[in-house]
C-alpha cells in the first residue's frame, strides 16, 4: 500500500504491484503475515508526524512477517523465523519485502499471529512507561486516560501481571457498560468516565487502593488536569499522546505544593536511544512474549481485514469511539 503524497489516507493510499528487489548479502526476504493500522501510521500519511519516510512510501510501522530467504552474510535469521520491525518506518503494509537484517527483530513463532503483529509499538510503549518513570511495587496504583486504546489495554494487563492496580479513565459513550466490562475482564481494577474524575465518589476508590504515583496521559486538555488532581505528591505524569489536540493545563499549585513531575515519552525515540543496547530491547521483548505465552497479555480487540479492503479499514481506524484495531491480513 503506497502513497506518493501526504493527505487523507483513503484518498492518497493506493494498492500497487511492485517487483521484489534482489536479495543482497545482508538482506532478508520476508513474507508479511499481518500488520495493524495505528494512529501514527495515519499521521505519517497525513504528513503531521514528527518523523516521516521519504516519498513514495509504503504505509505501516508495525506487523509480523515470516522469513523466506536470507543473504549469505545473515547469521541471526533463517527461513521460517518470524520477524517484526526493529524501528518505525519499515513499511509493513505489503505482502513481501526485502529488508536489511538490522531492520528486523526475531520473535518467537509460538505466540498468536495477532499478538506478534501488534507487539512492537503499543505493548512496548506500555511496558516502558510502567518501568522507566516510577519504581512501582505490587499494591501501588496507576491512573490512565484513553484506557480502551491499545496502549491502555496493554497497561492494564502488564500492570495486573505485576500486582499493580489500575484506575482507567474512558470517555462516556453509548456502549459504556460493555466497554467497562471488557476492560474489567482484561484486569482493570476501576473504570471511570472523565466526568467521574471530578466527583466526590472518587474518594471511595482510594479507600481500597493508594493514590497513584504514576499517571499516563494520551489525551491532553481538561482530561489531563482532572487526572492530575488524583496523583500522589511527587508523582509523575507521562504524556505519550494528545488526542484532544489541546495543551496540558497544570495548576501552579500542583507544581509548588505537590511537586508533581511532567514527562513525555515517544517509543520511536526510546528505540533510537537504545539502538546500541540490544540487551534492553531483548529483555523487554522476552518479558512481553512470556506474558503472552502465559495468557496474561492478549492482542488488542482486532478486526481482521484483507489487503483489498484497505480503504474501508483506513476509514474505520479514524472513526471516534472505535475500540477495535484494524489489522491487515497479508
The catalytic residues are: 49
User: CB-based contacts of 296: which residues, under 8 Å, 6+ apart?
Assistant: 157, 160, 161
3 state SS of 146: coil
What is the pairing mode between strands 190-193 and 220-221? unpaired
Given a contact cutoff of 8 angstroms between Cβ atoms, the answer to whether 197 and 156 are in contact is no
Quick count: other Cβ atoms within 10 Å of Cβ 32?
Answer: 24
What is the C-alpha to C-alpha distance for residues 86 and 272, in angstroms, rounded to an integer?
10
Q: Across the chain, how many H-helices and E-strands are there?
A: 12, 18
Asked if residues 30 and 83 have their Cβ atoms less than 8 Å apart, the reply is yes
- Non-local (6+) Cβ contacts of 71 within 8 A are 23, 24, 25, 26, 27, 28, 101
Task: Please tell me the distance from the alpha carbon of residue 215 to that of residue 136, in angstroms, as a whole number.
Answer: 12
Alpha-helical runs (H) found in 19-168: 39-46, 113-117, 122-132, 150-161
Amino acid at each position: 500500500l503506497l502513497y506518493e503524497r501526504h493527505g487523507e489516507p483513503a484518498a492518497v493510499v493506493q494498492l500497487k504491484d511492485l517487483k521484489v528487489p534482489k536479495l543482497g548479502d545482508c538482506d532478508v526476504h520476508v513474507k508479511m503475515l499481518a500488520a495493524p493500522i495505528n494512529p501514527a501510521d495515519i499521521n505519517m500519511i497525513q504528513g503531521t508526524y514528527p518523523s516521516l519516510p521519504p516519498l513514495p512510501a509504503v504505509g505501516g510501522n508495525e506487523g509480523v512477517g515470516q522469513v523466506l530467504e536470507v543473504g549469505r552474510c545473515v547469521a541471526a535469521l533463517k527461513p521460517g523465523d518470524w520477524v517484526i520491525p526493529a524501528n518505525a518506518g519499515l513499511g509493513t503494509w505489503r505482502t513481501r519485502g526485502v529488508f536489511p537484517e538490522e531492520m528486523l527483530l526475531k520473535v518467537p513463532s509460538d505466540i498468536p499471529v495477532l499478538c506478534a503483529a501488534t507487539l512492537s509499538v503499543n505493548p512496548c510503549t506500555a511496558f516502558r512507561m510502567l518501568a522507566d518513570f516510577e519504581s512501582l511495587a505490587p499494591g501501588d496504583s496507576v491512573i490512565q486516560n484513553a484506557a480502551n486504546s491499545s496502549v491502555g489495554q496493554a497497561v492494564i494487563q502488564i500492570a495486573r501481571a505485576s500486582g499493580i492496580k489500575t484506575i482507567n479513565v474512558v470517555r462516556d459513550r453509548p456502549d459504556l457498560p460493555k466497554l467497562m466490562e471488557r476492560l474489567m475482564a482484561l484486569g482493570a481494577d476501576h473504570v471511570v468516565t472523565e466526568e467521574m474524575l471530578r466527583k466526590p465518589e472518587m474518594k471511595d476508590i482510594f479507600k481500597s487502593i493508594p493514590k497513584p504515583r504514576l499517571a499516563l496521559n494520551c489525551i491532553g486538555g481538561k482530561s489531563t488536569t482532572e487526572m492530575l488532581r488524583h496523583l500522589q505528591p511527587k508523582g509523575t505524569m507521562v504524556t505519550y499522546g494528545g488526542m484532544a489536540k489541546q495543551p496540558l493545563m497544570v495548576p501552579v499549585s500542583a507544581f509548588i505544593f505537590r511537586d508533581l513531575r511532567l514527562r513525555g515519552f515517544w517509543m520511536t525515540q526510546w528505540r533510537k536511544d537504545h539502538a546500541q543496547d540490544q540487551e534492553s530491547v531483548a529483555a523487554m521483548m522476552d518479558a512481553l512474549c512470556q506474558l503472552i505465552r502465559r495468557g496474561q497479555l492478549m492482542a488488542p480487540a482486532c478486526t481482521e481485514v484483507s489487503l483489498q479492503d484497505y480503504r474501508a479499514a483506513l476509514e474505520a481506524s479514524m472513526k471516534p469511539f472505535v475500540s477495535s484495531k484494524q489489522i491487515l491480513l497479508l
